[in-house]
Amino acid sequence: MIRRRRYRFLGTVQGVGFRPFLYRLATEDGLVGWVQNRHDGVLAEVEGPEAAVNRFPGTVAAQLPPLARIAFWEGEDVNPCGEQGFRIVQSADGGEGTVHISPDAATCPDCLGELFAPRNRRYRYPFINCTNCGPRLTIINDIPYDRIHTSMASFPLCPDCAAEYENPADRRFHAEPNACPVCGPQVILLDAGGEILAHIDPIAEAVARLKEGQILAIKGLGGFHLAVDGTNNAAVRRLRTRKCREEKPLAIMVRDMEMVETISEINDIEKALLAAPERPIVLVHRREAADIACEVAPGSPNLGIMLPYTPLHHLLMKDQFTALVMTSANQTDEPICIENAEAVSRLAGVADGFLVHNRDILVRCDDSIAVVAGGIPQVLRRARGFVPRPLFLHRSFPPVLALGAHLKSTICIVKDNTAFLSPHIGDLETPQARDYFDGSVPLMERITESRPEFVACDLHPDFYSTRAARQRGGPVIPVQHHHAHIVSCMAEHGLSGKVIGLSMDGTGYGTDGQVWGGEFFVADERSFTRRGHFTYFPLPGGDKAIREPWRTAAGLLRQAYGKEWPAVATALALLPESCPADFLEGMMSGGVQNPRCSSLGRIFDGVAAILNIRRRVTFEGQAAIELEHLAAGRSGRILPYAVRKDAEPFLLDPAILVRAIVAGFLSGRDPRDLAADFHVTIVQALAEMAGLIREKTGTLDRVVLSGGCFQNRLLLEGCVTALKARLFNVFFHQLVPTNDGGISLGQAVCAGTIISDPQARE
């Protein structure tokens, strides 16, 4: 019996070698027919003996190429037509867009083998790639994903490359970025002023200059890096000075896994994450004796490590460096540079030279950051390698654009049952970051082929993103910050219905106009009730407290000791001379620049300031991070705290806890022990609050953890253990950031839910 079936495959099926893969499977099984890229996926017809036709989709699913993902497929019978052979037919334009573009992928082992094989025609060619690896999103300006829609359009294939491109049996069949030294992009080295250095081998010269301690801007996949020898302390210091980046840890690229094991204590899950095609920066524990400049991550027990992910990285690093600092090429708070001329002008005075090339970066994409917590990989910054892979939702939604929060901004488009997050945009503090944000909206609309009418944004009236939502002109749906956090975590786990949500965070705008960030919700995708929160404490100076945690400490002392607080502040030598206690007391009693705050993130900062770990910081979260590091490896004892359950919302009052920490510190207890005590106490308190809410509500046994505080591994792992011990089902982030990078997803799903069923809106 001869049968012919037409199959449609949806998902990440273009630009990943899917058509040659179908070609190979079909011809190996004696099937005839064709395959075609379309706007709505990949369409294939196969004809042959019934048994072979029937097993075709199963074989496809079982043997997918490394970068391909099938979200959905369907098949229908059509009439056999007795054609000869199997063909790959030209892409068709038009129709509904549901094709998923692949993220960029690290150089694959096959290409790496060729890169260092002296007889290969691409020996040491910095742009080698194939259907299983290389640039994707970052070179695309439209879909479908064909060479004419990429920045490779300006490089006509030479006959050798064209033969590979057209041969279905070749590893480079329809590899759109395919190139070689004859026809493809080239690297050049520019001096500090942007003049071309001719008559040199640019890569060898770059290596030599890096070895001398120079700072080079290097064009990568999604933007420029600033590179400097990671073992040269003076050179790294110089980079910090020029980039105005005082203490925030710098990422390093380590030349291979063997070297990674030499400098860090790394487990198998972390190794797999480091070596994955996404090649994120992974935060790992450094070895004390590691030959890495202390200026890379001053005072931190951790290192942010990545492996080389482009051929150019491999050529620079092989046998040359233990590690290169590879930090995003920008001035602090600005987006990463992507254009050659832009790099030369924006990095003037920072870079001593520029290793550039003539393949344009069309989509800006920072390095992603991930960490293993509780044995599970978690993405903390989602960009290169992950974007634009969609997240699949448990139901379908009408199209919604969500514009995220203010810090660690991302945007998200939800469409049907998929959510597409933009690359990490950053803090919307500078005009450059705001331009990047503005440009991300049309980019995501192009990628998803949609222009949603509905826009979701934060409740904060003054955020740049909130104003952008209003300017768009369509219906705007504001979503409370901590509700969005909880729903983002629900969305990635496919949860619906009511859950207990613990949103432990830096700061977010509350429905009462105060600063929230230690919230216990009963929530679903539509709405939430605030069943508990940390007792409000004053935050003298408002947002200034983020950079000056001594302010938060003063607020906590005021809440813990009432009018007696100045004496305690004096005993702790807490306040700077410029800000005497009576001035602050005036602020805190008068209410000017003095919001009330329930943020656990700020409590971490304040406790770090009380313990004199850090009273001023040079980057957000620094004090809290150092408090975590200090506590690591110690067991800790539970200190007193109070839960006020006479009325709702329940209040978790940290006053007695603050008094216990102050007393311990003033009596000379080791701050490391006090830091550990603080962590276990907070874990215990959070678990008790969750238990209390379950009691009051009856049946809820799912607890969802979200918010920036859960980047703290001690807190996250402690909470998971404590909640599981109370027989809760615990959910935390893996695919999207637990910090504000995940907010846009939560906003989109909240808004989508409300739009789908507007009557039920409360």
> Nearest approach, Cβ of 746 to Fe ion (angstroms)?
10
Q: Which of residues 738-757 bind Fe ion (CB under 5 A)?
A: 740
Segment contacting Fe ion by CB under 5 A, of 226-234, 356-364, 439-447, 735-743: 735-743
Q: How many residues line the site for Zn ion (CB under 5 A)?
A: 10
Interface residue with Fe ion, options 360, 505, 524, 585 (CB under 5 A) = 505
Selection from Fe ion, Zn ion, none that 504 binds (CB < 5 to 8 A by kind) is none
Q: Residue 695: how many CB atoms within 10 A of its CB?
A: 10
Between 231 and 409, name the residue whose CB sits nearer to Fe ion: 409
Segment contacting Fe ion by CB under 5 A, of 170-178, 666-674, 727-735, 737-745: 737-745
Between 13 and 111, name the residue whose CB sits nearer to Zn ion: 111
Interface residue with Zn ion, options 43, 71, 153, 183 (CB under 5 A) = 183
Closest CA to 581 of 595, 591, 566, 592: 566
Q: What is the spatial distance between Cα 109 and Cα 559, in angstroms, rounded to a whole number?
A: 59
Identify whether the C-beta of residue 228 lies closer than 8 Å to the C-beta of residue 214: yes
Between 549 and 664, name the residue whose CB sits nearer to Fe ion: 549
Indicate whether 458 belongs to the interface with Fe ion (CB under 5 A). no
Between 104 and 740, name the residue whose CB sits nearer to Fe ion: 740
Indicate whether 182 belongs to the interface with Zn ion (CB under 5 A). yes
Q: Residue 757: how many CB atoms within 10 A of its CB?
A: 9
Question: Count of alpha carbons within 13 Å of 98, Cβ hemisphere only?
Answer: 20
Residues with Cβ within 8 Å of 545's Cβ and at least 6 positions away in sequence, in order, are: 539, 551, 552, 555, 602, 605
The mark string for 559-598 relative to Fe ion (x by CB under 5 A, - otherwise) is: ----------------------------------------
Calculated CA dihedral for residues 62, 68, 70, 71, nearest 10 degrees: 140
Q: What is the spatial distance between Cα 337 and Cα 327, in angstroms, rounded to a whole number?
A: 11
Indicate whether 620 belongs to the interface with Fe ion (CB under 5 A). no
Segment contacting Fe ion by CB under 5 A, of 126-134, 189-197, 505-513, 530-538: 505-513
Closest CA to 95 of 136, 143, 141, 137: 143
> Nearest approach, Cβ of 606 to Fe ion (angstroms)?
18
Q: Which DSSP category does 422 fall into?
A: P
Helix (H, G, I), strand (E, B) or coil at 588: helix
Amino acid at 221: L
Question: Count of alpha carbons within 13 Å of 643, Cβ hemisphere only?
Answer: 19
Indicate whether 360 belongs to the interface with Fe ion (CB under 5 A). no
Q: Residue 553: how many CB atoms within 10 A of its CB?
A: 30
Closest CA to 626 of 675, 665, 674: 675
Segment contacting Zn ion by CB under 5 A, of 158-166, 369-377, 406-414, 447-455: 158-166
Selection from Fe ion, Zn ion, none that 681 binds (CB < 5 to 8 A by kind) is none
Indicate whether 133 belongs to the interface with Zn ion (CB under 5 A). yes
Left, alpha or beta for 194 (phi > 0: left; psi -120 to 50: alpha)? left
Q: Which of residues 90-109 bind Zn ion (CB under 5 A)?
A: 108
Identify whether the C-beta of residue 205 lies closer than 8 Å to the C-beta of residue 196: no
Indicate whether 685 belongs to the interface with Zn ion (CB under 5 A). no
Selection from Fe ion, Zn ion, none that 569 binds (CB < 5 to 8 A by kind) is none
Q: How many residues line the site for Fe ion (CB under 5 A)?
A: 2
Indicate whether 130 belongs to the interface with Zn ion (CB under 5 A). yes
Selection from Zn ion, Fe ion, none that 78 binds (CB < 5 to 8 A by kind) is none
Selection from Zn ion, Fe ion, none that 133 binds (CB < 5 to 8 A by kind) is Zn ion
Selection from Fe ion, Zn ion, none that 183 binds (CB < 5 to 8 A by kind) is Zn ion
Closest CA to 181 of 311, 318, 340, 50: 311
Identify whether the C-beta of residue 222 lies closer than 8 Å to the C-beta of residue 138: yes
Q: What is the spatial distance between Cα 96 and Cα 40, in angstroms, rounded to a whole number?
A: 6
Q: What is the spatial distance between Cα 389 and Cα 11, in angstroms, rounded to a whole number?
A: 9
Indicate whether 67 belongs to the interface with Zn ion (CB under 5 A). no
- Which residues sit at the interface with Fe ion, rule CB under 5 A? 505, 740
Residues contributing to the site for Zn ion (CB under 5 A): 108, 111, 130, 132-133, 158, 161, 180, 182-183
